[in-house]
Structure 1
Amino acid sequence: MDKIRKQEEIKSDQHKVGLLPLITLVMGSAIGAGIFNLMKDMAQGAAPGAVLISWVIVGIGIIALALCFQNLSDALPELDAGIFQYAEDGFGKFAGFASAWGYWLSIWLGNVAFATMLMSSLGFFFPIFKGGQNIPSIIGASILLWFLNYLVTKGVENATVINFVVTICKLVPIFVFIVCGLFAFKLSTFTYDFWGTVSQRFEWADVFYQVKSTMLITIFVFVGIEGASILSSRAKYKKDVGRATIIGVLSVLVIYMLVTILSFGILPQGELAHLPEPGMAYVLEAIVGYWGAAFICGGLSISILGVWLSWTILPAETGLIAAKQGLFPQLFGKVNKHGAPTYSLAITSGCIQLFMFTFLITDEAYQFMASMVSSVVIITYLFVTLYQVKFSYQQPKSKNRTIQLAIGVVATLFQIWAFFSAGLKYNLLLTLLFVPGIFVYIQAQKEQGRSKNIFSNFEKMVVGLIFVGSVAALYFLVTDVIAI
């Protein structure tokens, strides 16, 4: 009997995820389409000086967030049902749902952004997809969407292994870009119009506005750093989850800073801001010629395939875990013989398919979806940082408690700053995405036997504000006050 049990434990361990795959999952989930257009996106609103300030602020905020993930993962290994379980444990069932719904939305909306960027990069080689926002692009992206859906239904662990291989492959063009950029970097180009102000000197109001303009961009490129936490129940060792998150975040931060800073030292801000997509391809083309653009576009295609695979796993896992916690309807929790959440996958892919038609109604589908992702994921991250503050405050007084409390406060302030930096447009559109979620939550609670008193008085007020915000958003959309 003991021999059989031991064999079962060995077999179970073989399906667990180790430290290195968890690190590559963090990096693979975060490094995607965003990095290949990051220099252009930041240059559209900020000069080199403001970009440096932005990276200092974002670096502190994201590292603080990663430290929250690490601390909570190490201190509460029993909470292994994803980062939104912290919201439920700390602030109640509805908070847990809001966190889970926000995270689920952010991941599949990100896939819509990846789809348009992927088809745009393929358009460099195949003119039929040029621009990434036409009928052929929708057809091509749809085929890939359902292929990845099929792949993940064959087992999440297998897809994770493929992601590991793809992550290594896609880092090569980024590495080549950084090496070439180091040799091509010119300090005179980087310091030209350093602050981007009329006086060409530091002006607080102007630089502050420039820094704010980069927040949604930088939040978007870091979405996915919590990938190890989402798969924490599948990790071989619980401590690996926190370690993978910290190592992955620091690695990604260094790569992002190098890519943007080097770009500003190769081409001035005005040229970067008006480059075609993906910006990195045309920066490298300015250094080495045509082959550089082709090389980057090929790398971008691989990169998006890898991160799209990761982001096919994550929303499906989110739906599955949320269903197990009673936050989502039970339909999301059904799995096949491989343990893959087939219904959660199908629902998620269906939403992505529907939103792909935004390719035809907006000129900037990628930028719009990227901004929506950032706006909605801030809700989930804010619950994590608030829980870090609450949990740390409840611990006995000690030096470690003070440090963890300070980390939580810093991370929370950063998320609040990012939320207000998003602006009224995206925060109102955010309420539209949460309205369907209210009915999903009500259905889930009915399945749990709670048909009455589903919301507390405070929660009813929050729900009311969501509905009011959604009505305002619809009005502004109809009257063209808000443009998609």
Structure 2
Amino acid sequence: MSEAAPPDAGRESPPAAKLPLFTLTAMVVGSMVGAGVFSLPSRFAEETGVAGALIAWAVAGTGMLMLAFVFQSLAVRRPDLDAGVYAYAKAGFGEYLGFFSAFGYWASTCVGNVTYWVLIMSTVGAIWPELGEGDTAVAVVLSSVGLWAFFFMIRRGVKEATAINKVVTVAKLVPIVIFVILALFSFDPGVFAGNFGGADYAGSLFSQVRGTMLATVFVFLGVEGASVYSRHARRRSDVGRATVLGFLSVFAVFASVTIVSYGILPMSEIAGLSQPSMAGVLQSAVGTWGRVFVSVGLIVSVLGAYLAWTLMAAEVLFVAAQDDDMPRFLRRANAVDVPVPALLMTSLLTQAVLIVTSFSDDAFDFALNLTSALSLIPYLLAAAFAVRARARTPVAALATLYTAFLLYAAGLKYLLVSFVLYAPATVLFVMARREQGRRLFSPAELVVLAVSVAGAVLGVVALAAGWISL
């Protein structure tokens, strides 16, 4: 490989681009409103009826609101900590767990990005069978083309990309709101009542609620989006305001989409719909044009969410490298404030996971659940740091309990698969320590390393033996 570097390869970060409250809020909304909302009807109907859904949204809404308040409070109390989730974990629990938080959050965004391409291809697959459920060879190739097209667009500048995101955020909310309105006009109280207690295949009410938790985590990922972009905020107080405003907006949308769907079809039929299940629900209510309408809205929504998540993923690696917790090559940015090496790593991991999920039994559900599981450790560490920092302690304690419950709800399978990704990532931590001429691990960090490696080994053995499957 040539030793000559591109003109922007050695540049350190220029002054950060400053973003107003509306743009920060749009980043939060744009991050959360993506693939997940279009899959909610069937994801919930597979697990629970109306009663369980109401409880699940109450639990998830309260828990995530507590997390939103945690990020709001920490943004004000600790203005010295940028890149939110990662910075809080490091400040509270040391560099190695901070590194894991940064890597886990970054990896979850990359895996989440895969769900977007799978869902787009599955949607188009309704008229082009070669795309299947978004996991065929043709679908993977087309998704890869789109992935790298976005890489080159984002490379042109953060300001340009966030400006596009503001427009897309507004555009993608319109079809979702119209779906709710049309579903209300077609709402059948008898069908709704029949779905209230759940179907025969649903277990106890507790197990029903537990089964929905990873889906709710997935759709709420991005609530910390303004925190991640705190270095770009014009006013520090805007970070907290954008977090809460964005959360409350999308919570109302997500809960509405789920509940109104129970008044259109029996839950067993909703559970059997192909993704995007929202399209199938609306088709049943108003005809074929309803599926087309939702499908177009989905593509706009998902592409906007992909843009926002790719930006956030690169930002996490970039800031971690600036703090010497990732290798130095990741701190480079070009003349328009884009961390190109971090953006390239983000695109490469997304590409790799896109290929892997094509071998899974259900590419969309696997990527969705793994995204949620990877994000839980960073969320748990951020909430626990707020408890230690005495930032709205009762709220922080509730947020910590909620994220701990989510780890339990995720189950052993996705925890082990997460370790398979976490453990090898330590190579990046070692590279950063060697660049600084520092001791690689402290005694406490060796314990964390041993646990992560043991989990990864168990995960690989479980996959190889068929105890768990993708």
Query: So what's the TM-score if we normalise by structure 2?
Result: 0.94
Residue identity in the other structure for 1:328: M
Q: Does 1:409 align with 2:411?
A: no
Other-structure match for 1:6: none
Residue of 33, 56, 60 corresponding to 2:62: 60
Q: Whole-Å Cα distance in 2 between the matches of residues 74 and 309 of structure 1?
A: 27
Q: Does 1:233 align with 2:231?
A: yes
Other-structure match for 2:194: 192
| Equivalent residues in 2 for 1:10-409, closer than 5 Å | 15-196=17-198, 206-392=204-390, 404-409=392-397
Q: Is the 8 A contact 1:68 1:407 kept in 2?
A: yes
Cα displacement (A) at 1:125: 4.0
Q: Whole-Å Cα distance in 2 between the matches of residues 33 and 337 of structure 1?
A: 32
Residue of 444, 456, 461 corresponding to 1:470: 456
Cα displacement (A) at 1:195: 2.2
Q: Whole-Å Cα distance in 1 between the matches of residues 15 and 446 of structure 2?
A: 44
| Equivalent residues in 2 for 1:419-458, closer than 5 Å | 419-450=407-438, 452=439, 454-458=440-444
For residue 84 of structure 1, give the secondary structure of its aligned residue in structure 2: helix
For residue 324 of structure 2, give the secondary structure of its aligned residue in structure 1: coil
Q: Is the 8 A contact 1:167 1:306 kept in 2?
A: yes
Q: Whole-Å Cα distance in 1 between the matches of residues 89 and 275 of structure 2?
A: 37
Higher mean alpha-carbon deviation, 134-143 vs 27-36, is at 134-143
Cα displacement (A) at 1:198: 5.9
Q: Whole-Å Cα distance in 2 between the matches of residues 359 and 289 of structure 1?
A: 32
For residues 232-277 of structure 1, the C-alpha deviation after alignment (integer angstroms, 9 at most, x for no partner) is 1111111111000001001111100000000011112101100111
Residue identity in the other structure for 1:434: Y
Q: Whole-Å Cα distance in 1 between the matches of residues 206 and 328 of structure 2?
A: 46
Residue identity in the other structure for 2:92: G
Other-structure match for 2:7: none
Residue identity in the other structure for 2:396: G
Quick one: percent identity of the two aligned structures? 37
Query: So what's the TM-score if we normalise by structure 1?
Result: 0.92
For residue 437 of structure 2, give the secondary structure of its aligned residue in structure 1: coil
For residue 151 of structure 1, give the secondary structure of its aligned residue in structure 2: helix
Q: Does 1:482 align with 2:468?
A: yes
Q: 1:111 to 1:193 in 2, by over 3 A?
A: closer
Q: Is the 8 A contact 1:48 1:269 kept in 2?
A: no
Q: Whole-Å Cα distance in 1 between the matches of residues 137 and 437 of structure 2?
A: 45
Q: Whole-Å Cα distance in 2 between the matches of residues 448 and 410 of structure 1?
A: 38
Higher mean alpha-carbon deviation, 131-140 vs 353-362, is at 353-362
Q: Whole-Å Cα distance in 1 between the matches of residues 92 and 461 of structure 2?
A: 35
For residues 99-129 of structure 1, the C-alpha deviation after alignment (integer angstroms, 9 at most, x for no partner) is 1011010101111111111111122344442
Q: Whole-Å Cα distance in 2 between the matches of residues 72 and 447 of structure 1?
A: 31
For residue 83 of structure 1, give the secondary structure of its aligned residue in structure 2: helix
Cα displacement (A) at 1:197: 6.5
Q: Whole-Å Cα distance in 1 between the matches of residues 42 and 198 of structure 2?
A: 15
Paired residue total: 457
Q: Is the 8 A contact 1:220 1:370 kept in 2?
A: yes
Unaligned runs of 5+ in 2: 1-13
Residue identity in the other structure for 1:48: V
For residues 107-160 of structure 1, the C-alpha deviation after alignment (integer angstroms, 9 at most, x for no partner) is 011111111111111223444423211111111111111111111111112101
Q: Is the 8 A contact 2:140 2:358 kept in 1?
A: no
Q: Whole-Å Cα distance in 1 between the matches of residues 459 and 371 of structure 2?
A: 17
Other-structure match for 2:9: none
Q: Whole-Å Cα distance in 2 between the matches of residues 19 and 385 of structure 1?
A: 24
For residues 374-401 of structure 1, the C-alpha deviation after alignment (integer angstroms, 9 at most, x for no partner) is 0010111111100110111xxxxxxxx7
